[in-house]
Structure 1
Amino acid sequence: MSRMIFSINQCSPVELRLLKALRALNWEGSWPAQAGFFLEEMGLSSSQAFVFADLVTAIIEADPGFYLLGPTSPFVSRDELNLLAALGNASRKSSNRLGQVTRSRVPVVKSLIDSCGTALRAGQISMKTRASLHNGRTLPSVASQVLPFQDDRTLRNVTVVSVHKPTPRVRRIVLGGHSLKTFVTDLAAQWVKIFLPGGTTQPVGRAFTIYSFDAINSQLTFDIALHDGGPMSDWALTAKPGDGLQLAGPRGGFKGVTPRSWLLMAADETGLPAVAAIVRLLPADLEVHVFAEVADESERQFLDTQPNVRVRWIYRNGTSSQEPETLSEVLRYSPLPATGGDAWIAAEASAIRSIRTQLLRDRGFELGRVQAAGYWKHGEQDHRDLAAG
């Protein structure tokens, strides 16, 4: 009886929003990419969103039978009501555990509940007071240790094989090494975290999309979009064959499209390697509309596309005959198919929020078919977005 369901009307508006995010984290397709936006709309930060992602993963690992319904279900399960009760109780506790749970330590469900409660309290999110349902499934015990996310966290030693310059502000780095002989990437647009050698200090690490992986020669290629003052940009300007690095991953990736659909892709320089990786693997008969924003015409890159892929280049600094434009502005007025499609978007975080809202509100895209990730954020180093996977 622990899987018994009730009307969703039992939940408060705040609980409904939180529950939708928790369900999305455990769902399929592009739904997990929406969870971070749901939590952010409640007032939580992008870093706090990862604690809720860890909690959902921890619960399912510790108890695979825990019953989370679909994101749009009109019902709520006993298990979900018990989870909401635990989070509400934790949000009213006087503790300061947020930040103590790190991905380098195997988490326990209770400590993650406490951390989520602290995040809710910090965001001034008032949860409903409710009692646990005693004849429902209880949360995994305090002592239940669970596995971390099931991705490859092994640090691999690699060296630079070659450095290329596809545009003035992009460096394409090819890495090789014995450690890549066991490297596997099974989705387009997966990313790895690259670590610069740090000597006795903590190494600097940044996430980069895999442009391509040559399994036969064990070589991985990624792009660095140069910008002033960044440690990876500074390194890329002087990088040479033989330089040593470490990498971890892969993570994330493009989840595919709905059958008989069409695909919208939009990206700035940081997302272009993912666009290139995705379009190389798309079916030849799929209708694809690509919008690519770069600084100017000198930053335009070659994309190996199929005949049904239409590419629109957007120059934010303008040209001699064209005013400056942005990704969001051009998308707002560009003609697209009238029927609902799938969307994949990667750019600066605030631009992503604007485009996502535009697609859902004005273009009629379905929520679960929009995969949008902020690959970077103005004024923030090493930005992490839950939607990137």
Structure 2
Amino acid sequence: MGHGWEGVVLKLMRGRDFTLTVTGAEQVAERYRRLCLSDGGMLRATGVHPTMWVRLWFESEGRPHQRAYTLVDPDPVEGTFSLEFALHDGCASDWARTAKPGDTIEATVQGTGFTVPDPLPSRMFVIGDPASLPAINSLLGAMPETPATVWFETPHPSDADLPVRTDAERHDLRRVPRRDAGAHLVDEVRAALPALLDGNPSAAFVWIACDAATTRRLTAYLRKELGIPKDRVNALGYWRTV
């Protein structure tokens, strides 16, 4: 399968292509599926960093489409990692539902990057949902000693049991049902965050990865109303409502 004009652009931007092979699959929850893969030499070639992601290529209606997914438990020595899919309608979810050992998929590495804050924050605040769960877990693993409050939005009842890798001693996990197109999550964060900042917004680090509209609203609130410095906020809309 060719990658179309997007593939050409990624090549010009020094994207690197690899072929991944499915080695196993696990239905984690009703709408959440984990695939184990061998990396085709990718991790040794690119290295690994927290929240690292790859672009997978799918075909839909005869055209190539790419979607980004965060690596779960990457092992450069063994050349393995997993990918987790929040299942919905679409070509990526359709592929993930039926993928079996031996199946292959093309991937491009380009654009991924994350640097652990320096100095480390006194407290971390993480806001996400099933689509960003792998990145949330990677982030928490990258700063295991940093206390964190995690707001985890759950669009479906089965999402309430998804495996957020929190430590009860250091992490405060708050599962928030999705209501009013994300407005309920925004309200929950606004109600709690000012007191949690304890008058020192510059000492915190806030990481947000929700739907695009909710991410924009939260980012504006953090910057304009709470005065959190730009370099202490990492925000990215992971998906768009339709």
Structure 1 residue aligned with 2:176: 314
Structure 1 residue aligned with 2:155: 295
Any conservation in 2 of the 1:266–1:292 contact (CA below 8 Å)? yes
Q: Structure 2 residue aligned with 1:277, among 121, 135, 138?
A: 138
Identity %: 25
State the Cα distance separating 1:250 from its structure 2 match.
Answer: 5.2
State the Cα distance separating 1:103 from its structure 2 match.
Answer: 7.2
CA distance in 1: counterparts of 2:110 and 2:50, whole angstroms: 11
State the Cα distance separating 1:148 from its structure 2 match.
Answer: 4.6
Instruction: Confirm whether residue 253 of structure 1 aligns to residue 113 of structure 2.
Output: yes
Structure 1 residue aligned with 2:65: 204
Matches within 5 A, 1:85-124: 104=8
Worse-matched range after superposition: 354-363 or 246-255: 246-255
The gaps in structure 2 that reach 5 residues or longer are none
State the Cα distance separating 1:213 from its structure 2 match.
Answer: 0.8
Q: Return the TM-score normalized by structure 2.
A: 0.83
Task: State the Cα deviation string for residues 338-372 of structure 1 (Å, max 9, x = none).
Answer: 21111111111111110001111222211221110
CA distance in 1: counterparts of 2:224 and 2:9, whole angstroms: 40
Shift in alpha-carbon separation, 1:217–1:366, aligned structure 2, 3 A? same
CA distance in 2: counterparts of 1:202 and 1:326, whole angstroms: 37
Structure 2 residue aligned with 1:333: 191
The gaps in structure 1 that reach 5 residues or longer are 1-100, 107-146, 319-323, 380-389
Any conservation in 1 of the 2:54–2:71 contact (CA below 8 Å)? yes
Structure 1 residue aligned with 2:42: 180
Instruction: Output the amino acid matched with 1:239.
Output: A
Structure with the greater alpha carbon radius of gyration: 1
CA distance in 2: counterparts of 1:298 and 1:273, whole angstroms: 17
Instruction: Confirm whether residue 355 of structure 1 aligns to residue 218 of structure 2.
Output: yes
State the Cα distance separating 1:268 from its structure 2 match.
Answer: 1.4
Any conservation in 1 of the 2:54–2:112 contact (CA below 8 Å)? no
Structure 1 residue aligned with 2:74: 213
Shift in alpha-carbon separation, 1:329–1:185, aligned structure 2, 3 A? farther
Structure 1 residue aligned with 2:87: 226
SS in 2 for 1:257: coil
Aligned residues: 229
SS in 1 for 2:164: coil
CA distance in 2: counterparts of 1:366 and 1:209, whole angstroms: 26
Q: Return the TM-score normalized by structure 1.
A: 0.54
Higher relative contact order (CA 8 A, sep 6+): 2
Shift in alpha-carbon separation, 1:353–1:325, aligned structure 2, 3 A? closer
Matches within 5 A, 1:22-33: none
Q: Structure 1 residue aligned with 2:232, among 358, 362, 369?
A: 369
Q: Structure 2 residue aligned with 1:236, among 85, 96, 99?
A: 96
State the Cα distance separating 1:276 from its structure 2 match.
Answer: 0.6
CA distance in 1: counterparts of 2:141 and 2:150, whole angstroms: 13
